Structure 1
């Protein structure tokens, strides 16, 4: 059998810190302010007003058409801000939807060590997926308020490029609650859809528009003198009349030969036509090698010597870039180790039009070269799409999708898929597989079936049997969940016993796990899970572990499953390390179920709290929240906490109320909620679940058995013992083969109680004997505890006589005593855990460095952690101490040391 394949995306999705996966997959030049040129003239009154506004107003607007120097004016004042002022810069572009905008904005704030409570990437995904913008705005406002700066300015350049209206809705909410020590500065060609009238009325808005940014005659005269042109008042007046003070027109006119400006078309031409005319004059007067170099490199979003050399093929790229900057053309200079230029939009558009007219045959090749050297994967995919290179774009997305999904960025994958033309989305197996993979982690089985069916057919047509097989496996598993057994089995017929590829072999075992888990035999899941873990342990990447983990916890309690499940947890945590926080959290919640199943109350409680913190940090994705809520509900049911069971079950159901999730899931959750209510002796909750289950016709045996079991539990509670016994005897015939999350134990203990009440202790023991034997062999009592303390007390106190062995009765008594112990803290109050340490050893260690004034990056370096891990520790420290800022946490630490 071969080795696991390794991806080729390393440099595209690596972060700058520690080589770990970084979800802020965008060009860092987006958050670097441009450097204004030393030769720019002073514009005293404008600069004085703008400098004052940036430190006193809530919103500063620079609104003017292209070419009026908005970026130059803002960046110049931005770099002159006081030293104690936080300066945050972000350049927007047409690829910025809400998710990407938020990720870029969060990354631009990183220099301030913001005290995030939720991972910013997760928050962005959460909001992009439809979560409340209000909640996201409150999170951002809380972070800004907690940053210890005298004043802060967030500059958003080129905001007109953003078309996602949700960005402006979020900005409106931010403006409404912006802390007094923060200013938002926006440069745009058009008025943004924000509450400007309200801000004007409150004198919280400073506006700089076309009339403010236009050059006057005196300024044009100074510019002419500085450039060596005719600096007379008459010449300046002619240039003012020609350009109406338009900075782009003035600048280009100064670069044309003498006499051109005076003979140029007058103001009856549009600014765009005038710019094209003047730009052509400038471009055509350039040396041919410089002109051709500039045209070819205009396909790049930013110009560096290395990338320009790759795209143009010209080894003199560095020298030519220096000439471009020295000529004062329409470029911004960005910070960096190497000279980096960004072309002005107007100039780029002009060059692009000239390039396509002059060298049309070369454009696809140039676009391809630009994509080859692009490190921003989002840009790279979109570049390839624009170049019409569907195969390479799809292949790149196929490699990128598992990485992004494992990093929690499914929403980004789906947005990339949407960038492709409709005909490609309908026919491409790569795009279908990527979409299906996202749906797989969200329990959206109907979507998985449709997408993976399309992927399987497409891969088969392309002669790619392994990829087709993997798509068919996911399709088959989701068909199982949908109760479409015959279709699932027809897919299974094509699955070979040994595909020769460990990744595919692991997925085949995953199918076997679910096939036997849903339809039996009872020992099947353990056998398949054991073989799957053996395969994964051969060096599987985090992406494959993550692909196998969804819903694994459901089969906990099956014979022999706990052992390989513990091995799976260990392997997944090792594979995750700092590369995948979602995988780490998913493995931790699986471990929580294992602790719960062994009856370890305090360990399970601590694990639940740990996963809750991870879930909050990751934005509470459904793939994590559903198993976490299930574990929390089970924990509360064993404790007899009726209110906890009720609220947890409602939250669990609300996470599954979407048309993309099959109705059987909601039916199963309703039955599960009723079973937990019975364990907590909440009979109103049981009746409510039964009412909701009326008329539900699940396609698998489990929903029907679940409904029947609830009716039996209620009958038993109401003393209708014969009716309960009849229902439970039928259920017990199949419960072992379809057991999940203690279902079989619930039926057997309930049946034993019914038989005992009907005077049949021998039959009662026959029902219980398998449970006692299994618990003695494995130490797993979670399923038994989920029967509820009331039932366990009744079987423990029964008069067994000779029907049950002495050791068996002793086991029943231990169960009852353990159940009573679990319930004791609810009756005694919720203060039983007050003595727990508030912070872990690692958190105290992080806090000590934080109190010493170290940044997240320095703390990460000192403790050999990733900055993302440090951010998560800081968030947990603030949550546990109920504090809002790093400064407050540092003060708390110093106070504790003094005490």
Structure 2
């Protein structure tokens, strides 16, 4: 049942099924790899974000650019679509330069896409990497947002709101985002999310896309709305003037107009074809090669590409052929695959020869072959040296400094062991930002028979299964990896797998096996970062068995080891279901310490720390502080709806707040939403836990019928896979129901049994406490001393722990009457009782006002500018008046209004005005 059997994972992962990778999700990289020197983050290489350098023979096209720049001021999207070799990238470079130097001074960010970007998470990782230099004011860390973007789910689309808000907070600055070579992205989810981004883009953002094919986006809608600028094949074709300019820029004697017209007719204005023809022109004559005979029956590009290659000296031919296995040509990688020490000079020479190359970095240099030319070179390499490409890929992989760039090379080389080692090394970085699909895609490229025998592959598959809440599959994979590591004499890796295995056992309710894991690791000399996992497992094992001492021991050890191992901290050490720990005697200082450690690592960027703060504030704080903390938590939950545990925790705590304020119906409605968030991987015991929360709400409201409806499920014997602590819950519920029905003898029997069980198997505090109900029952039977003993125990614990939560969740009128009647008999100091009463009264006095505040959406999905537009719209002002009042163009106001309706899921301006007034 324990969803959080340990707490040592690395960074956040949000989306399906959880918002943050928690232990027992992937441990820190230091746990996964003995060598961190080639750590791979999920961020793409920086060369993807460099605007390619314009070549000296680029033909300026002012007549083409001018109308595009004018229309781009109000466009959502500028689409440049044409087949390969028509100069899409070149035109985008010119557009980017013009936008950056225009009066608006747009900030241009560039993303060069490739086949590795063909999933939603990877596409947006590349996009976020390009935006990073802009230092946008994110409401939550970008990595947290990225981890939700794995599919086109509603949660992922909601997460995009954080991106659009960050982009739109500076209305005085415009951002031009270029996505080049989008044709490499065919994944439906990735394109749906991109479509959502464009649809919701603030007016400050204009996207420019280059693609060989028409992307499946909402082009027709944007075209009809005048928000799409399109440049196609006909726009990009070279005419006679452009061809003549190209000759001049290349220093060639201009052929006759008739010859150029013939070349244009033969190539249909294809820019790459013209470059090839001019490159094949005989020096000094200005004549173009004849296109007759064999050439007429061969693909033009292949024919002339062969001519280009044949025109190079043999050493350079080998250099470009070997370099074709590289996605980018850098001196270090070229030296690795060619064996040449002068790779830098050769790259400069190649670029000067005006081959089909783009310069991504002027200083290193870093070049990239045109896709068509690289494809030709790879085919030619295989023709000349069959099978040699695999050896070249291996050389490139060995020279790569980034594991994520090395993996495709190792796979292409057929070097499975090295590929798996690189995957093991980079798994933490990928899983931290939602790269599960990418990791699994690479794992699937390993031969099945070979992969099944590898312990590391089993470990990685287990981590991927855990990230989908598939605990059964994860347990089996971790067991396989653990057994293999043990046989291979790899103790450190064995303990990594063992910690994950223990987490699975705990999550599945297999507590005997979880205890065996703890015993196995008890005397092992583990480093602090790895020990944290077993400390957390001990704490969760204590919760499962109701062993408060084990909970405290585990939390204390976890805090000590986390303090010594910063890599095991945020969000590792407190990223769990906080309600299970909060309110148990002695946990408060430990949980606060864990929270401080997290904040020290992530100042201002915490995602899950607000959940810990909100729980502690409810259990120990004043109502105003607790309400503010809850609002912050609910805001995070609305921003990150793909975070399953964040959503469950927020709804759970919200229901307790509402109940404490006397709004039982609203509280029950909130907690009733929790089962819908639970994926099929959640165990039956986990669901019963939240049914006990419902029972406590009915108990507080004195609702015997509500308790009766839950009795059949909650009083049945637990299964072998449910936590033993649930045994305490059944008699507690039975006794409370009997007490509300006036059946005092039956109630006392059940409640005394529950109190006895509670002494040895303490329920999580939110599920219930037998002592108040037992005191009420004994008092009703005329035994005030016995009643005072039960109540006194509860009050003394509240004073010692400075906790009010248990008292807030008891029937207020009954508790106050009992408290007043028994006051002379209580051992708890009168002053302490008075303080508790005062704090309790403050909560009850806050009820109606606070409940209304809690029930309303705690955050606003609109940006600051959209709120300004919304306020004027709600006053009934037209778009023209809004534009005049805010100094915006009419088109920009229309886009703002459309975005407002989209974000709020409204159909009309009237509905928007009503929404605004309700707030």
Task: Tell me the TM-score normalized by structure 2.
Answer: 0.79
Q: In structure 1, what is the equivalent of residue 611 of structure 2? A: 589
> Does the CA-based 8 Å contact 2:158-2:639 persist in structure 1?
no
C-alpha offsets along residues 172-231 of structure 1, whole Å, 9 cap, x if unaligned?
344545556654332211121134344444554443333332333454354345442561
Write out aligned runs for 1:734-883 (5 A). Answer: 734-742=757-765, 746-799=769-822, 804-807=825-828, 815-827=836-848
621, 624, 637: which one aligns with 2:643: 621
The one of the two structures with greater contact order (alpha-carbon pairs below 8 A, sep at least 6) is: 2
83, 86, 94: which one aligns with 2:115: 94
Q: Which moved more, 1:507-516 or 1:418-427?
A: 418-427
Q: In structure 1, what is the equivalent of residue 327 of structure 2? A: 301
Distance 2:293 2:489 in 1: 61
Q: In structure 2, what is the equivalent of residue 80 of structure 1? A: 98
Distance 1:554 1:674 in 2: 16
- Tell me by how many angstroms 1:282 deviates: 1.0
Which runs of 5 or more structure 1 residues have no equivalent in the other structure? 14-22, 839-881, 883-899
Q: 1:521 to 1:662 in 2, by over 3 A?
A: closer
Q: In structure 1, what is the equivalent of residue 510 of structure 2? A: 484
Q: In structure 2, what is the equivalent of residue 19 of structure 1? A: none
- Tell me by how many angstroms 1:734 deviates: 1.6
Q: In structure 2, what is the equivalent of residue 321 of structure 1? A: 347
Q: In structure 1, what is the equivalent of residue 289 of structure 2? A: 261
Distance 1:603 1:829 in 2: 11
C-alpha offsets along residues 339-393 of structure 1, whole Å, 9 cap, x if unaligned?
3322111111122223334345653443234334545554333333333333333
SS of the equivalent of 2:775 reads helix
> Does the CA-based 8 Å contact 1:85-1:149 persist in structure 2?
no
1:710 aligns with 2:744: no
Q: In structure 2, what is the equivalent of residue 245 of structure 1? A: 269
Aligned length: 816
Q: 1:349 to 1:609 in 2, by over 3 A?
A: same
Distance 1:136 1:702 in 2: 37
Task: Tell me the TM-score normalized by structure 1.
Answer: 0.80
Q: In structure 2, what is the equivalent of residue 38 of structure 1? A: 56
Q: 1:429 to 1:619 in 2, by over 3 A?
A: farther
Distance 1:363 1:608 in 2: 58
1:660 aligns with 2:681: yes
SS of the equivalent of 2:208 reads strand
Q: 1:195 to 1:519 in 2, by over 3 A?
A: closer
SS of the equivalent of 1:342 reads strand
Q: 1:618 to 1:490 in 2, by over 3 A?
A: same
C-alpha offsets along residues 415-463 of structure 1, whole Å, 9 cap, x if unaligned?
6656655556644433443454466577654354233223323323433
Q: In structure 2, what is the equivalent of residue 366 of structure 1? A: 392
Distance 1:336 1:739 in 2: 66
Write out aligned runs for 1:139-158 (5 A). Answer: 139-149=162-172, 152-158=175-181
SS of the equivalent of 1:215 reads coil
Write out aligned runs for 1:3-402 (5 A). Answer: 8-9=35-36, 12=39, 25-43=43-61, 45-55=63-73, 57-81=75-99, 82-86=102-106, 87-96=108-117, 97-110=119-132, 114-129=136-151, 131-132=153-154, 134-136=157-159, 139-149=162-172, 152-176=175-199, 183-224=206-247, 226-228=250-252, 231-256=255-280, 258=282, 261-262=289-290, 269=297, 273-335=299-361, 337-360=363-386, 362-374=388-400, 377-402=403-428
Q: Which moved more, 1:413-422 or 1:585-594?
A: 413-422
Distance 2:561 2:331 in 1: 46
Q: 1:760 to 1:69 in 2, by over 3 A?
A: same
Distance 1:648 1:418 in 2: 41
Distance 1:832 1:110 in 2: 36
SS of the equivalent of 2:80 reads strand
1:541 aligns with 2:593: no
> Does the CA-based 8 Å contact 1:141-1:174 persist in structure 2?
yes
> Does the CA-based 8 Å contact 2:263-2:274 persist in structure 1?
yes
Q: 1:50 to 1:101 in 2, by over 3 A?
A: same
SS of the equivalent of 1:546 reads coil
Distance 2:573 2:379 in 1: 45
SS of the equivalent of 1:348 reads helix
Write out aligned runs for 1:381-780 (5 A). Answer: 381-405=407-431, 417=443, 422-423=448-449, 426-437=452-463, 445-492=471-518, 494-542=520-568, 546=572, 549-551=575-577, 553-574=579-600, 576-577=601-602, 581=605, 584-613=606-635, 621-642=643-664, 645-656=667-678, 658-679=679-700, 686=707, 689-690=710-711, 698=719, 699-703=722-726, 705-742=728-765, 746-780=769-803
> Does the CA-based 8 Å contact 2:546-2:725 persist in structure 1?
no
Distance 2:597 2:771 in 1: 34
